[in-house]
Amino acid sequence: MSAKRTYTFAFDCPDRVGIITRTAGLFASHGGWVEEASQFSDEESNRFFSRMVVRAETLPFDIEVLKRKVEPLAQEMSMNWRLVDSDQRKRVVLMCSKGSHCMTDLLDRWKTGDLVCDIACVISNHEDLRSLVEWYGIPFEYVPVDKDNKAAGFAKTEQLIDEYRADCIVLARYMQILPQNLCEKYRHKVINIHHSFLPSFIGAKPYHQASRRGVKLIGATCHYVTEDLDEGPIIEQDVARVSHEQSVDDLVRLGKDVEKTVLARGLRNHLEDRVLVYGNKTIVF
């Protein structure tokens, strides 16, 4: 049986009395059944964050009409908002280099329906994972990035992302730094997995850095990409306990398990519109 159709309303606005009553009341006044509601009031910024899920079949009109009915309230309360139809699956472009553990995990979760989205294509600066990707019936686009002329490679990458009409781009161990113009163009749409518990051990070889420091926890961080390397809003994190007895190879092996799990959780939160960004901080419902 297919999942029931829902509309997800996610927003933030200046905090005030009556936001929940007014918002839920708008849906209720048209017979809308709110089956899920989350909210958070941030005292430091005096902002209110919320996510509501409404059963589509309980409303007498489609999402475009609903948007027009929400607009006056959104303007009155100075909301940053989005209203999303669960029937409109997000189009995801995956990007990778040579490492396969994150890519394999995401493709399997997509194939089994654990991640509800359409994977439009995979873009890679290496050919290594072509056969894996094509086995799943997904287009594989090879775009080399010449270290002496990276602009050409990224221009082609941007063209492909636009041609495939991506709603979301996932860097599944894509070992290149995106240029500033792409970070700005796809702000809060590019998701990265960093094999470190940020902000510790930023940049290359974090497991080697961690081993030299004798850490007792290793971790991974899923975050939105910004022009500041590995400093974008954090979506999801997790850790694994280690000891002095474990080598760098052991840390890498254990870290891979954490990486793929954290990336999958972070992507699912994004696909389900559970992430609201304010400044460089996220609220994840």
Is 142 within the bounds of a domain?
yes
Is 69 within the bounds of a domain?
yes
Q: Are 118 and 12 found together in one domain?
A: no
Q: Say if residue 200's pLDDT is above 70.
A: no
Whole-model pTM over 0.75 = yes
Question: What average pLDDT does range 113-141 have in this prediction?
Answer: 97
Q: Say if residue 198's pLDDT is above 70.
A: no
DSSP annotation of 234: E
The pLDDT value recorded for residue 18 is 95
Catalytic residues: 230
Is 220 within the bounds of a domain?
yes
Q: Are 227 and 102 found together in one domain?
A: yes
Which alpha helices (H) appear in 112-247, and where do they start and end?
A: 130-135, 150-163, 180-185, 206-213
The CATH number covering residue 259 comes to: 3.40.50.170
- Considering 70, 85, 100, which residue would you say is the last residue of a domain? 85
Is 1 within the bounds of a domain?
no
The pLDDT value recorded for residue 195 is 79
Q: Say if residue 178's pLDDT is above 90.
A: yes
Question: What average pLDDT does range 113-129 have in this prediction?
Answer: 97
The CATH number covering residue 44 comes to: 3.30.70.260
Q: Are 132 and 205 found together in one domain?
A: yes
Can you point out the beta strands (E) in the chain?
Answer: 6-14, 34-42, 47-55, 80-85, 91-96, 118-124, 140-142, 168-171, 190-194, 217-224, 234-241, 275-278, 281-284
Q: Are 39 and 169 found together in one domain?
A: no
Question: What average pLDDT does range 265-273 have in this prediction?
Answer: 98
When pLDDT is cut at 50, 70 and 90, the band that residue 197 belongs to is low
Q: Are 25 and 166 found together in one domain?
A: no
Q: Are 95 and 202 found together in one domain?
A: yes
Output 57 or 195, whichever has higher pLDDT: 57
Say if residues 234 and 261 touch (Cβ distance below 8 Å).
Answer: no
Q: Are 161 and 224 found together in one domain?
A: yes
Question: What average pLDDT does range 200-228 have in this prediction?
Answer: 81
Nearest Cα to 237, choosing from 252, 253, 251, 217?
217
The pLDDT value recorded for residue 201 is 67
Helices and strands of the chain, counted as H and E runs? 8, 13
- Considering 25, 50, 85, which residue would you say is the last residue of a domain? 85
Q: Are 69 and 210 found together in one domain?
A: no
Is 273 within the bounds of a domain?
yes
The pLDDT value recorded for residue 273 is 97
Say if residues 151 and 182 touch (Cβ distance below 8 Å).
Answer: no
Q: Are 155 and 259 found together in one domain?
A: yes
Q: How many residues does the chain have?
A: 285
Edge to edge, the sheet with strand 34-42 lists 34-42, 47-55, 6-14, 80-85
Q: Are 130 and 18 found together in one domain?
A: no
Question: What average pLDDT does range 28-38 have in this prediction?
Answer: 97
Question: What average pLDDT does range 16-23 have in this prediction?
Answer: 96
Q: What percent of the chain has pLDDT over 70?
A: 96
The C-alpha atoms of residue 235 and residue 9 are separated, in whole angstroms, by 19
Say if residues 84 and 8 touch (Cβ distance below 8 Å).
Answer: yes
Residue 199 preceded by cis peptide, ω within 30 = yes
Q: Say if residue 265's pLDDT is above 70.
A: yes
- Considering 68, 85, 102, which residue would you say is the last residue of a domain? 85
Q: Are 113 and 188 found together in one domain?
A: yes
Domain that holds residue 38: 6-85
Q: Say if residue 57's pLDDT is above 90.
A: yes
Q: What percent of the chain has pLDDT over 90?
A: 82
Q: Say if residue 1's pLDDT is above 50.
A: no
The pLDDT value recorded for residue 206 is 73
Is 74 within the bounds of a domain?
yes
Is 150 within the bounds of a domain?
yes
Average pLDDT, the chain: 93
- Map tokens 């700005």 to a residue: 184
Is 79 within the bounds of a domain?
yes
Task: Give the CB-side neighbour count of residue 54, counting CA atoms within 13 A.
Answer: 27
- Map tokens 């994840």 to a residue: 284
Question: What average pLDDT does range 145-156 have in this prediction?
Answer: 95
| Number of domains the chain is built from | 2
Q: Are 115 and 37 found together in one domain?
A: no
The C-alpha atoms of residue 123 and residue 219 are separated, in whole angstroms, by 26
